[in-house]
Amino acid sequence: MAGIYIHIPFCKQLCFYCDFYKSNSLKEKPQFIKALKHEIELQKNYLEGEKIETIYFGGGTPSVLNGKEINSLLKKLSEIHEITDNAEITLEVNPDDIDKDYVCEIKTTPVNRISIGIQSFFDEDLLLLNRRHNKRQAINAVKLSQSAGFSNISIDLIYGIPGMSVENWIKNLKQAFELNVQHISAYFLTIEPGTVMAQLIEKGEITPLEEEENVEQYNVLLEQMAQNQFIPYEISNFCKEGYFSKHNTNYWKQEKYLGLGSSAHSYNGHSRQWNIADNDKYIQSLKADSLVFEREILDPKRKYNDYILTSLRTMWGVDLKYLEEEFSKEARDYCVSLAKRLLEYGMIDIKNESLILTKQGKFIADNIISELLMTD
């Protein structure tokens, strides 16, 4: 089974922390949708005939699409690919795009999972992040989606925001649990170079939290999720039983996926490729019946590193049997030898022939992952 990701690179307002490719001009949207449909045709053989189990509209802000536009894109995909009857089809939305008419319109499409970019239920956080919505709109977005009949709802939250206290982080989580959503993605605020947030910190206009505060907020996150029966199936992703994000899980389990749209990434098991991060050039190239992208052929070392990088972040961990079967006994032995010290320090465990991060290990996951990678 494979997945399809559709990148909708339009935002009505640019968030101060985001470094994804996007444009705040919607004038190109009709041409972009036309180009997307042409890319679907040009890339029809990329997944080698595999059935499509997941479709994900990400961005940017996919909720700039109306129901008619979503249906037209899904219709085009179904003409080219075989989509399973129970395919997970996710639409990312901004809270301020959600009103009763819009969510009811989306419910008439095949979309069956909604992901709402809330980030915080505190207006002061939202202003700092330059989000377009407020707390009231965030809560209403969830309730309206539920009233329209959506029963698989995910929300995004961010911790480590400058000025955020542990008490407010707990209140954020409590509000999320009270809304009875099925899935929560909780991300640590990473200050990416070149973003407005990075510039504000450089100027001394805002101060990032101390490392101890960030660790405490992640510890609170793990405790609160456990108390509310949310499964920590990936470092930043938590869900009720039966509500794993199939699309993201397929990424972590090395399944094939096709990325459509400017800056979208694809993986077919042999190589990775990524489209040009420029709407104008993307549209013009497809008008000329071509697609501008870069490609990287994956050698065994890179495939091994990619597997370690994605799998160790999940509750399933690094499958040692898979390493031996997919790569070699030497690759398995290499990983096990590097892991010995981490095992002794209590950073990872071995369960059912898999290396899995402990609670302590999750706090320094990136460092642990780098310890297990193959180097030159």
Q: Which two tokens mark 317? A: 């961990």
- Give the residue-averaged pLDDT of 16-31: 80
**Diameter of the chain measured on Cα atoms:** 58
In whole angstroms, give the CA distance from residue 333 to residue 338: 9
Give tens-digit pLDDT for 61-71: 999 999 999 99
Could you give all domains of the chain from N- to C-terminal order, each with its CATH number? 2-251 (3.20.20.70), 301-376 (1.10.10.920)
pLDDT of residue 203: 92
Phi, psi of 137 (to 5 degrees): -65, -35
* 268 pLDDT above the threshold of 70: yes
What 281-287 contacts at long range (C-beta under 8 Å, 24+ apart), as own/partner pairs, is: 282/32, 282/35, 283/28, 283/31, 283/32, 283/34, 283/35, 286/35, 286/38, 286/39, 286/42, 287/35
Enter the pTM of the model.
0.95
Cβ atoms of 263 and 276 within 8 Å: the answer is yes
- pLDDT > 90 fraction of the chain, expressed in percent and rounded: 90
Across all residues in the chain, what is the average pLDDT?
95
In whole angstroms, give the CA distance from residue 128 to residue 161: 9
Cβ atoms of 52 and 84 within 8 Å: the answer is yes
- Give the residue-averaged pLDDT of 153-179: 97
- Give the residue-averaged pLDDT of 183-202: 91
* 19 pLDDT above the threshold of 90: no
The confidence band for 339, taking pLDDT boundaries of 50, 70 and 90, is very high
Q: What is the DSSP string of 192-210?
A: -TTSHHHHHHHTTSS-PPP
pLDDT of residue 18: 79
In whole angstroms, give the CA distance from residue 114 to residue 375: 40
* 140 pLDDT above the threshold of 70: yes
Give tens-digit pLDDT for 209-256: 999 999 999 999 999 999 999 999 999 999 999 999 999 999 999 999
Nearest by Cα to 126 from 150, 95, 149, 100: 95
Give tens-digit pLDDT for 277-321: 999 999 999 999 999 999 999 999 999 999 999 999 999 999 999
Higher pLDDT, 371 or 18: 371
